[in-house]
A and B are shown apart, each in its own frame.
Chain A
Amino acid sequence: MNTKTKSTIVLMVVLSIGSVAFGRIKLVALPERAATVIRLDNPAATLIEEERVLTLQQGLNNVDFSWKGVSIDADSIRLQALDNPDKVTLLSVSYPPNEAALVWDISCKGDFAETVRISYLLSNIDRLITYKAVADKAETAVDLKSYLVLRNFSGEDFEQARVLLDYGEAFEQGIDHEETKQMLFLRAPKVPIRKIWTFDAAKLPWDPEKLENQNVGIPVSYRIVNDAGSKLGKFAMWGGKARIFQDDGHGSTIFLGEDVAPLVPVGEKMELYIGDSRDIVVTQRKMTDTRINLRKNNKGRVVLYDTDEVITAKIENFKDSAAALTMIQHIPGQWDMDKCNLKYVKKDANTLEFEIELPARTESGPATKELTMHYHRRNIRQ
Chain B
Amino acid sequence: MIKAFKWWWGIVLAFSLLGLSRAFLPLAFLNEVIIFSIYTIGCSFLLGRVGFISFGQPAYLAVGAYGTAFYLFYFGTNPYVGLLVGVLSGLIVSGIVGPLFVKLRSDYFALVNLALAVIIFYLMQKVLADITKGDNGLWFLTNIASTPVLDLGKPSHFFIFALLVAMAVWAFYKYLDDSIFGACCLATKINEDKLKFLGYSNYSVRLLAFIMANTTTALAGAMYAVYLGFVSPEMSSPHRAPDPVVVTILGGVGTLYGPLVGAFAYTGMKDAISKLIGNWELFIGFLLVFIMLAGEKGIWGTLQPHLEKLFFWKKRKPETDSSAKAPR
Whether chain B is bound by chain A comes out as no
Give me the interface of A with B, judged by CB distance under 8 Å.
Answer: none
Give me the interface of B with A, judged by CB distance under 8 Å.
Answer: none
